[in-house]
């Protein structure tokens, strides 16, 4: 996967169409009866790039495009999950995302001239068996290694090695996970 920045212009017609398509699918998804797993999975298959088996995404899910999100088997996303997928987001198998987590590939330039018109995005990779606690933020360009835990309320701005527990703002390693 490339880690280079992807530049984009918000008023691009193709991008607008993709936003509208995703927005309509998200509106449907978030209004489906809570217990109607079949229809929820059907919409997610249409919205997301790829999905594995045994996934569960709670209501009030939001994303930019959806097509850049790829999730593995046994994926769970809690309420109010937001994934800004202007660049690719890859999430491995057996991952847990607690409520109110933001995964943001998108950013804006420092220079204020035309900041509102343009942006950039950096991909995010989340390995297998990762647990992300509630109210965390994952910033573009980050890779989170297999088996790691991100403690609740953390802001991840740098790569997280496998088998690690990170916490804080900015998130820092607090210990290894012994296997």
β-strand partners of 97: 77, 132
Q: What per-residue confidence (pLDDT) applies to 76?
A: 98
Phi (first) and psi of residue 12, to 5 degrees: -60, 130
Residue 108 known to be catalytic: yes
DSSP codes joined into one string, 55-119 = -EE-SS-EES-STTEEE-TT-EE-TT-EEE-SS-EEE-TT-EE-TT-EEE-EE--SS-TTTTTEE
Which residues have a Cβ under 8 Å from the Cβ of 78 and sit 6 or more positions away?
Answer: 58, 97, 98, 99, 100, 101, 134
Residue 172: pLDDT band with limits 50, 70, 90: very high
Question: How many Cβ atoms are within 10 Å of 83's Cβ, its own excluded?
Answer: 25
Does 1 fall in a domain? no
| Owning domain of residue 167 | 6-176
User: Is the pLDDT higher at 99 or at 16?
Assistant: 99
Catalytic position from the list 59, 62, 70, 108: 108
Distance CA 174, CA 177 (A): 10
Residue 5: pLDDT band with limits 50, 70, 90: confident
Does 166 fall in a domain? yes
Does 148 fall in a domain? yes
pLDDT digits 0-9 by tens, 22-50: 999 999 999 999 999 999 999 999 999 99
- List the one residue out of 115, 118, 87, 84 whose CA is nearest residue 101: 84
Which residues have a Cβ under 8 Å from the Cβ of 2 and sit 6 or more positions away?
Answer: 123
Q: What per-residue confidence (pLDDT) applies to 118?
A: 83
The secondary structure element, H or E, covering residue 78 is none
Does 20 fall in a domain? yes
Task: Note the residue count of the chain.
Answer: 179
Model pTM? 0.93
pLDDT(2) > 60: no
Domain count, the chain: 1
Domain CATH for 25 = 2.160.10.10
β-strand partners of 60: none
- List the one residue out of 95, 105, 78 whose CA is nearest residue 146: 95
């Amino acid at each position: 996967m490339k880690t280079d920045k992807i530049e984009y212009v918000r008023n691009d017609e193709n991008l607008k169409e993709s936003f509208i398509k995703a927005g309509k699918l998200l509106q449907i998804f978030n209004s489906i009866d809570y217990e109607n797993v079949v229809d929820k999975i059907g919409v997610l298959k249409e919205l997301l790039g790829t999905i594995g088996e045994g996934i569960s995404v709670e209501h009030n899910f939001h994303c930019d495009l959806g097509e850049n999100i790829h999730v593995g088997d046994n994926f769970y996303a809690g309420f109010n999950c937001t994934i800004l997928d202007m660049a690719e987001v890859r999430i491995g198998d057996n991952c847990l995302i607690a409520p109110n987590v933001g995964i943001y590939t998108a950013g804006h330039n420092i220079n204020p001239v035309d900041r509102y018109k343009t942006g950039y995005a950096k991909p995010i990779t989340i390995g297998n068996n990762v647990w992300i606690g509630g109210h965390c933020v994952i910033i573009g360009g980050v890779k989170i290694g297999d088996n790691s835990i991100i403690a609740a309320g953390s802001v991840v701005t740098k790569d997280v090695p496998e088998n690690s527990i990170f916490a804080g703002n900015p998130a820092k390693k607090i210990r290894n996970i012994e296997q």
